[in-house]
Structure 1
Amino acid sequence: MGGHSKEDARRLEWATLNLERGVVGGGGETTGYGNASLKPAIGLVRLFSACMVSGGIQYGWALQLSLLSPYSQTLGISHSYVSLTWICGPIAGFVVQPIVGYYSDRCTSKMGRRRPFILAGCIIICLSVLMIGFSADIGRRLGDTTEHCSTFTGSRWYAAAVYIVGFWFLDFANNTVQGPARAMMADLAAGHHGPNVGQAIFSLWMALGSVLGYLAGANAKWHEWFPWLKTAACCDACANLKGAFLTAVVLIVVTMSATLWLAGEEQKQLDKDDVDASGGACSAFVDLFKCLKNLPPAMFSVLAVTAVTWLAWFPFFQYNTDWMGREIFHGEPQGAGGKADLYNAGVREGAVGLLLCSVALGVTSLLIPKLCRKLTSRVVWSVSNLMVFILMAAMVILGIVSMKGYQPSLAATLSAGPNHSFRAGALAIFAFIGIPQAVLYSVPWAVASEVAAKDGGGQGLTIGVLNIAIVLPQLVIALGAGPIDGAFNKGNTPAFGIGAVFAFICAVLALILLPRTRGVSNATVMAGGH
């Protein structure tokens, strides 16, 4: 039991079993999201359609994960500083989600509690995506260079500045939408189907969005289908990114419209808690830390293991396609001749690998509840981290072997592409890593969301509890990966090596610290953690 009392274990097991029964929160409340003033007995087809926005958002998130780290380097941001552009993710998760969750729990708009935030967030996402996609063109207009993109290999600082601003707004907007959208699904499903059904549908849409997003990122023909995407500042790879992101705008508008039309939220009536909640945004953090203060000791062990788990995972999320482009395809984002083409081909191949990862994640998520009931969640969590250790160590070894004896001066043409065995091995690693990723997106949330909601507060705030254990390690990796890369000058190898070490540590900690809980709900599998 890792030194914790039997009472702590019973409290956690009670929470997890209640989640599996569809009971969330304490005091007889059915959803944990506050007293939902929604139309009862929404049909299953309409409920499924009302969650469509989560697929659109995940489509854009998949493009962000697969394309933006490589793209930022084509603008002149060095590999050592790419990690700093991702700082906005943990900051947005820590600041935005509690505030948006707090206000969405208390929103009295005629549109309902969640839909105003979904609408505002989706509008900002579309504007941010356009800024990112057209950053090279905007930078040229601002004075970056008059040289054609096919020959220019220097830095484009105006374009990089526009890109970074768009990137930050995109992450803040993603966090604005995701929490209320997830909370709304629990609200809508509570009256007839139960929260498990609502969250399962939410997860299914996210999985579909991931697959479509990685397919779009792997497509190399956007510039052929839409030749007008190419400009003097934006060549083939940039035009492909622009085309993929324009499809994201269209998809988000369509899915957002369907959600806003079909959700059927009604205006929330003011109650005493809303009238007394005069602390504004500060109250969001007061409630959040009050919730943390009241958690049982065993719950802090869950948060600690979650934090170490994300220290292991974040290097993969940040550098996966860049590793494929550099270490496996031997390309360079601003390389001369065929080296840039090799890098872009590797990035697209990495997107294919992430698609395989999403498929494995979706299939594995169906098996996790049964595995947790049979083996206990701590064993499943430990084994998943052991898998991450093995797979990240394999990425380090494969990258080193691939680059051993490689001479960049000879890689001027596409004929110097990847070894087919290395390429197949890399794709296999991407596919298998989807198995432990399913655990990452399910087991911690199944326990933490229940225990956090037990002592009151809307589910909008509940998401922020476990988010603390996610955003802090993300911030550590974002700040530390660049200096480590600069010190060793080994590309992505140091970051993946660090991830492998943390994964092994977490495999041990999970067995020592976590209680013996067996239940985990199908409803809590998440395809994201932005």
Structure 2
Amino acid sequence: MEEGLGNHKEDRVGWTALQLEEEKQGGGSDGRSFRRILRLFFACMVAGGIQYGWALQLSLLSPYSQTLGISHSYVSLTWICGPIAGFVVQPIVGYYSDRCTMKMGRRRPFILAGCLVICISVMLIGFSADIGRRIGDTKEHCSTYTGPRWSAAMVYIVGFWFLDFANNTVQGPARAMMADLSSAGRHGPNVGQSIFSLWMAIGSVVGYLSGANGKWHEWFPSLKTAACCDACANLKGAFFTAVVLIAISMTVTIYLADEEPLDKDAVDTSSSGGGGCAVFIDLFKSLKNLPPAMYKVLVVTAVTWLSWFPFIQYNTDWMGREIYHGDPQGTAAKADVYNAGVREGAIGLLFCSLALGFTSFVVPRLCRKLTSKVVWAVSNFMVFVLMAAMLVIGIVSMKGYRPSLAVGLTGPDPTLKSLALAVFALIGIPQAVLFSVPWAVASEVTAEEGGGQGLAIGVLNIAIVVPQLVISLTVGPIDGAFNMGNTPALCIGGAFAFICGVLALIWLPKTRGMSNNAVAVAGGH
């Protein structure tokens, strides 16, 4: 989920011709400085395109998979590819992008290849119902058929896996390239990574707006087919825009990110005999030499993510089921209600992203005043309260509800819907802490003990992908065993959030600052 283990301290690539020209001309004017920062800003545009696709994936794909026949209890299993991709792809891609000697530069070849695979993957997902119909699914019209479509589900899963692997292929080199370009210029890595985070915020906001839009099938009626009705056509339309935005942002980034080819003689091949596997060998060797405090940071990080993944996987599904009383595998009317809830959930995630963006400016100051451990602990207690609120809202919404007595598209209770949206918005506050403070604490601990930042990134990545794998394998079956919708998953998340808040107060070392390197790796998925 985070970047690979490349060492970028000696990187001096990109922008050289531009810098030399400016130095010859005096190179210190405000106008030239503004042009440099503007070029750096647009060179990072691909981050916004990728995040747009991530937002669609997070808000739409869990609900959509259920319309293909994948039961609610098995939806979490489709997300196994996330931790696998984060653990395997990013370190290997980071390793080889550090050593790439192509004329395009070190990072751009991986960005280009990854974006092309993303475009193919989202088209596979968007057209999975149509492809499934062609290769063996029912010929009955989607407006009347509510059963499973297993061929479409297989196409969807293949596209989903390729999408996750491609996203990880692009994200690491794109962030590393920003570190390269900003370090080679006069801005510093913190400026480059701040621009990267800004593009991620822009991509999230626009992506959730697109996911909440229910008019794609009206604007482009040709998206609807016998196998793909309104909700499917809306997803298809949103993913079409993702292809367009990714293609545009990738082109702008590749054109403006003027990387210099890496000299083959400058590549250190002394430790590369094991290829990409050397990354994992070095990573697991480093686990034996961790500073004592780092083990506590790892445990608290792992428990933190155990509390978050149930929300990440089921947020819009919760809105569609518990608040709107819809059913993705029910009658046409029930499916329409469910899809309306999913779109409302995407609006809630938009509010979440806005709250996250505003809070990100405050988190460093809070850490300096209260210490990072207190901020981390308070954020987890806040997650516990918000997940408890989701449980209460869901229970109240479902209390006395009888599907047989429900009348068409009456919609949810307005008060409960408003409360649900408020919870989505407020959870963006602790999410800002999630995306920054753990990396800050790990960075400071390793720095104080003489460790490297690569160590902090690589080891913390394990503490993220392992909890995601655990949640993906267990939460869905637990939901199915109790047959209570998303209630068991939220209970699990809330319990881990409370435990993590206590552990953070007891175990974490007292740290106040947030180093540039820590801020640089904040964010992402």
* Fold similarity call, TM over 0.5: yes
Which of 497, 505, 511 is the aligned partner of 2:499? 505
What corresponds to 1:64 in structure 2?
57
Residues 169-184 of structure 1 correspond to what in structure 2 (within 5 A)? 169-184=162-177
C-alpha deviation, 1:364, in angstroms: 0.1
Question: What's the counterpart of residue 29 of structure 2?
Answer: none
User: Shift of residue 455 of structure 1?
Assistant: 7.2
1:333 to 306, 328, 333: 328
1:414 aligned counterpart, secondary structure: coil
In the alignment, residue 287 of structure 1 is paired with which amino acid?
A: D
- 1:305-360 CA deviation, whole Å, 9 max, x = no partner? 11000000000000000000000000000211421111000000000000000000
The answer to whether the 8 A contact 1:135-1:159 is kept is: yes
Q: Which runs of 5+ in 2 are unaligned?
A: 20-34
> Alpha-carbon deviation of 1:526?
6.4
Corresponding position: 1:486 with 2:486: no
Q: Structure 2 residue aligned with 1:78, among 68, 71, 75?
A: 71
Identical counterparts, % of pairs? 74
The Cα of 1:435 is off from its aligned counterpart by 0.1
Q: Which of 158, 180, 186 matches 1:165? A: 158
Distance 1:206 1:115 in 2: 18
Partner residue of 1:129? 122
The question of whether the paired residues in 1 share the 8 Å contact of 2:197 and 2:523 is answered with: no
The C-alpha deviation readout for 1:260-312, integer Å capped at 9, x for no partner, is: 11111111123362354111121011122233333311122112111000000
Provide the secondary structure at the position in 2 that maps to 1:338. Answer: helix
- Could you say which residue in structure 1 is the equivalent of 2:200? 206
Compute the displacement of 1:466 (Å).
Answer: 1.6
Question: 30, 39, 47: which is aligned to 1:46?
Answer: 39
Counterparts in 2 of 1:375-454, with a 5 A limit?
Answer: 375-415=370-410, 417-448=411-442
The question of whether the paired residues in 1 share the 8 Å contact of 2:13 and 2:181 is answered with no
Other structure's SS at 2:85 match: helix
Aligned to 2:281: 286
- In structure 2, the partner of 1:240 is 234
Which amino acid in structure 2 is aligned with residue 488 of structure 1? F
Matched-pair contact (CA < 8 Å) for 2:439–2:456: no
CA deviations over 1:198-254 (Å, ceiling 9, x no partner): 110000000000000000000000001111000000000000000000000000000
Distance in 1 between the 2:427 and 2:99 partners?
Answer: 39
Contact 1:33 1:105 in 2 (8 A): no
Counterpart code for 2:177 = M
Distance 1:249 1:68 in 2: 16
Greater RCO (CA < 8 Å, at least 6 residues apart):
1
Contact 1:207/1:358, CA 8 A, preserved across alignment: yes
**Which residues of 2 match residues 366-381 of structure 1 at below 5 A?**
366-381=361-376
| Distance of 1:215 and 1:82 partners within structure 2 | 24
Q: 1:201 to 1:380 in 2, by over 3 A?
A: same
Three-state SS of the structure 2 residue aligned to 1:144 is coil
Q: Which segment is superposed worse, 215-224 or 274-283?
A: 274-283
Give 1:457 deviation, angstroms: 8.1
| Structure 2 CA distance for partners of 1:458 and 1:264, relative to 1, 3 Å | farther
Q: Per the alignment, do residues 322 and 124 of structure 1 end up closer, same or farther by CA in structure 2, a change over 3 Å counting? A: same
Contact map agreement 2:201 2:357 (CA 8 A) in 1: yes
Instruction: Tell whether 2:514 aligns with 1:520.
Output: yes
Instruction: State how far apart, in whole Å, the 1-side matches of 2:367 and 2:159 are.
Output: 40
Shift of 1:467: 1.1
**CA root-mean-square deviation:** 2.0
Mapped to 2, the partners of 1:394 and 1:267 lie a distance apart of 53
Change (3 A) 1:452 1:102: farther
Contact 2:382–2:430 at 8 Å: present in 1 too?
Answer: yes
Contact 2:45 2:253 in 1 (8 A): yes
Task: Calculate the TM-score normalised by the size of structure 1.
Answer: 0.91
- Provide the C-alpha distance between the structure 2 equivalents of 1:223 and 1:526, rounded to a whole number of angstroms: 38
> Structure 1 pair 73/412, CA: closer, same or farther in 2 (3 Å)?
farther
How far apart in 2 are the matches of 1:327 and 1:304? 32
Seen in structure 2, the aligned counterparts of structure 1 residues 411 and 521 have a Cα distance that, compared at 3 Å, is farther
Q: Is the partner of 1:519 in helix, strand or coil?
A: coil
Distance 1:348 1:129, change over 3 A: same
Match of 2:345 in 1: 350
